[in-house]
Amino acid sequence: MVWKLLCNDCVRISACLFINLKASCIFSDGKNFQTYRRSNMEETRYLADTKEPAIKREEILFLPDDNFNGNNVCIVTGAGTGIGRATAIAAAANNLMTVGLDIDEAEGNITQKMAREMGGQMIFIKTDLTRDDEIETAIGEATKLGSIKYLANIAGIQHIDSVDNFPMEKYDHMQALMLRAPFYLSKLCIAHMKKSSDGIGVIGHMASVHAHISTRNKAVYNITKFGLRALSQSISAEGEGRIRSYTVSTGFVKTPLALNQIPAQAEQRGISPEEVVRDIMMGSSRMKEMMSPIEVGNLFVFGFSRFAKYLIGGDLLFDGGMVLTY
């Protein structure tokens, strides 16, 4: 009987010791059990952040607007992937005759197919935005489809290098694609907007947190994004409230442009891809999850709509607090 009681006590003591040991167990990397489990859960969450999400109809912002109809044309650059693709699909889903421009014909045709599968009208035109003649041809084709009312300048590329090492051919290409092309497209579209029945039009530009703050090794990207804000404000200053322009500034978004940087940064820094997302990309953000392309596309839809009539030269800063909170 005594032996049985002792055994039961031993079992209870052992169980308590095991529970306490589990709670306070220290691993070789200095983490206790709870920290280790939480770390693994975070790694899983950030792993999901390194993949581009699919675009679902239920995630699209639908707004009632009389100007959102098939007689009005919305031109979207960079429509082959990422934010440009999402914006083109969202515009088409909101009943606009959407014209997508991109140099990648295969991806552009996929976007066109996706937009049509969601019930929208979209035409893709392969366009090299660094060539004026191709821009002029694309605008000419767009005018055959309806009245040009909306333009989304989204196309962009990235090159990481310090100012003293930056190749000038890369500088020229980025300036041509990300600043000169938006200016020329705006110039051509404004002329058509003014000739429309009501003389109204809206031009949105894809800026960035890099239109507010400058980070190292991204000098030309910073320059072009600051430049787009100046372009937007200049258009708005001349638009007399009838031709509006605005910018959209976000942090990192789950696009090929952002996601393709992750493996190289991980290798360069000697850390995991998940740590790149958590500590480098999202380190200054209050939100620890990258935005999806359709969330940004929805901002363009809002900016185009009647609900944004006072958005004149303004910037839609959706960055998870990166710029304004420290």
For 45-54, 141-150, 217-226, which range has the lowest pLDDT when averaged over its residues? 45-54
End-to-end CA distance of the chain: 66
pLDDT of residue 203: 99
* 244 and 128 in a common domain: yes
Write out the residue range of the structural domain in which residue 284 sits. Answer: 253-290
Average pLDDT estimate for 11-32: 40
* 264 and 194 in a common domain: no
For 46-55, 75-84, 99-108, 314-323, which range has the lowest pLDDT when averaged over its residues? 46-55
* 174 and 218 in a common domain: yes
Domain presence at residue 91: yes
Domain presence at residue 300: yes
pLDDT of residue 326: 65
Domain presence at residue 303: yes
* 222 and 97 in a common domain: yes
Average pLDDT estimate for 132-140: 98
Res. 190: pLDDT tops 80? yes
* 164 and 312 in a common domain: yes
Contact indicator for 76, 91 with CB cutoff of 8 Å: yes
Neighbours of 289 (CB within 10 A): 16
* 284 and 215 in a common domain: no
Q: Residue 13: pLDDT band by 50, 70, 90 thresholds?
A: very low
Domain presence at residue 151: yes
Q: How many structural domains compose the chain? A: 2
Average pLDDT estimate for 168-196: 98
Which pLDDT tens digit goes with each residue over 249-261?
998 888 887 777 7
Res. 52: pLDDT tops 80? no
CATH number of the structural domain spanning residue 187: 3.40.50.720
* 193 and 236 in a common domain: yes
Q: Which residue has the tokens 């999202």?
A: 282
* 165 and 140 in a common domain: yes
Domain presence at residue 196: yes
* 308 and 283 in a common domain: no
Neighbours of 306 (CB within 10 A): 11
pLDDT of residue 50: 59
Q: Between 99 and 288, where is the model more confident?
A: 99
Domain presence at residue 53: no
pLDDT of residue 35: 39
C-alpha to C-alpha distance for 28 and 34, rounded to whole angstroms: 14
Domain presence at residue 130: yes
* 162 and 204 in a common domain: yes
Q: Residue 274: pLDDT band by 50, 70, 90 thresholds?
A: confident
Domain presence at residue 286: yes
What's the token pair of residue 178? 């990300």
Q: Which of 85, 87, 72, 93 is nearest to 150 (CA)?
A: 72
Which pLDDT tens digit goes with each residue over 102-118?
999 999 999 999 999 99
* Phi (first) and psi of residue 127, to 5 degrees: -145, 130
Contact indicator for 89, 54 with CB cutoff of 8 Å: no
* 286 and 259 in a common domain: yes
Q: Residue 8: pLDDT band by 50, 70, 90 thresholds?
A: very low
Q: Which of 203, 214, 72 is nearest to 147 (CA)?
A: 72
* 101 and 152 in a common domain: yes
Q: Quick one: three-class SS letters along the chain?
A: CHHHHHHHHHHHHHHHHHHHHHHHCECCCCCEHHHHHHHHHHHHHHHHCCCCCCCCHHHCCCCCCCCCCCCEEEEEECCCCHHHHHHHHHHHHCCCEEEEEECCHHHHHHHHHHHHHCCCEEEEEECCCCCHHHHHHHHHHHHCCCEEEEEEECCCCCCCECHHHCCHHHHHHHHHHHHHHHHHHHHHHHHHHHHCCCCCEEEEEECCHHHCCCCCCEHHHHHHHHHHHHHHHHHHHHCCCCEEEEEEEECCECCHHHHCCHHHHHHHHCCCHHHHHHHHHCCCCCCCCCECHHHHHHHHHHHHCHHHCCCCCCEEEECCCCCCCC
pLDDT of residue 259: 79
Burial (Cβ within 10 Å: 0-12, 13-18, ≥19) of residue 21: exposed
Neighbours of 170 (CB within 10 A): 14
pTM, two decimals, is 0.82
